[in-house]
Amino acid sequence: MIAARWIEHILQPRFELGTSKGTINARTVWYLLAWDTDRPEVIGIGEAAPFPGHSKEFPADVRTKLIELCADTHDWQRRLTTDLLDVPSVRFAVEQCLRDLEVSGTKQLFPSPFLLGHLHIPINGLVWMGDTATMKQRIREQIDKGFTTVKMKIGASGVHRNGIDDELELLAAVRREFGPNDITLRVDANGAFGAHEVMNVLQRLADLQVHSIEQPVHAGLYEVMAELCERTPVPIALDEDLIGLNTRDAKVDLLENVKPQYVVIKPSLVGGWAATQEWIDLAKARHIGWWITSALESSIGLNAIAQYTATLGVTMPQGLGTGSVYDNNINSPLLAERGVLRYRPEVAWDLDLFAE
């Protein structure tokens, strides 16, 4: 018989995480724990990490569903394709928990050379918003750390009148020192720009030979986004537009009508491994590029995303370098350094948080 419980945990960033939608000073996640009552020492753990301002879920939805799941554990597998579709982060937590239980709680969810330390996942460095001097310093730090792909959050123009000019000047400064063959630049707008201004921004980014821009306008503006994707001088990657589309038909409709150059897939926000694989398969069939990113999970969720990604044969940098932003993250074998995410099999997990 399977028993289960859940834990709510607040993660504390080492610095303010600035985006065009506001600053993140704390991050709440939930852990789902399950065990066989005949082997209570073997515990499977999964993480539900909805993202306020991005997810369609609310904390109350997560708590309610976790209470239901822990009260009745007999049909979790079936529920992955029924009511859990509407709570993607919880669905992913159940996927992780069941898989971890299958592998005796080792957190070694997808056997691959990555788990042996023989394969590293290429990742981008991430520059959060801040004042101009701080962002300039953060860009330099990422380059000095060995990242050859750097992604910068942009879109402060919604708050500061000269925000986009300052941000583009930061990118221009990088380009004056490093060509596109030396440093790949990505930007993430989180839907910051209006339809009247966005084309000018796209042209200026193209002039700086930026690789791509994520979600230039607000999610849900499908006609606007379709026109932008058709006319844009710099490739557009859909991000928030993927969230909340939990059926195959809805995904197909988005891809075939908007026709983006890329999609950015966050497993915690789209519904886990199965949903991520469906997005990848649909994108590939339409010659749309893709990459996978974390959504500020703790090491439990990041590990689940990274191990799955390592099985996909990726060569393009992924967005999996967020584990170091927290002061109180769970110590794990994962390490982001010099443009890659590594798994160190010699390093043990610190799971004291989950001890009763």
- For position 15, what pLDDT does the model report? 86
The CATH number assigned to the domain with range 2-102 reads 3.30.390.10
The secondary element (H helix, E strand) that includes residue 28 is strand 27-36
- For position 275, what pLDDT does the model report? 98
pLDDT band at 27 (very low <50, low <70, confident <90, very high): very high
For 212, which DSSP code?
E
Q: Which are the catalytic amino acids?
A: 153, 266
Beta bridge partners of 185: 150
Q: How far, in whole angstroms, is CA 68 from its chain's centroid?
A: 27
* pLDDT per residue as tens digits for the range 195-253: 999 999 999 999 999 999 999 999 999 999 999 999 999 999 999 999 999 999 999 99
Judge whether residue 161 has pLDDT over 50: no
| Mean pLDDT of the residues in the chain | 94
What gap in Å lies between CA 219 and CA 234, rounded to an integer? 19
Across 60-89, average pLDDT: 97
Cβ atoms 150, 139 nearer than 8 A? yes
Domain segments of the chain as ranges: 2-102, 121-354
The secondary element (H helix, E strand) that includes residue 49 is none
Higher confidence at residue 158 or residue 315? 315
- For position 20, what pLDDT does the model report? 61
- Strand segments, DSSP code E, in 166-307 are 184-188, 212-214, 236-238, 262-265, 289-292
The CATH number assigned to the domain with range 121-354 reads 3.20.20.120
Judge whether residue 60 has pLDDT over 80: yes
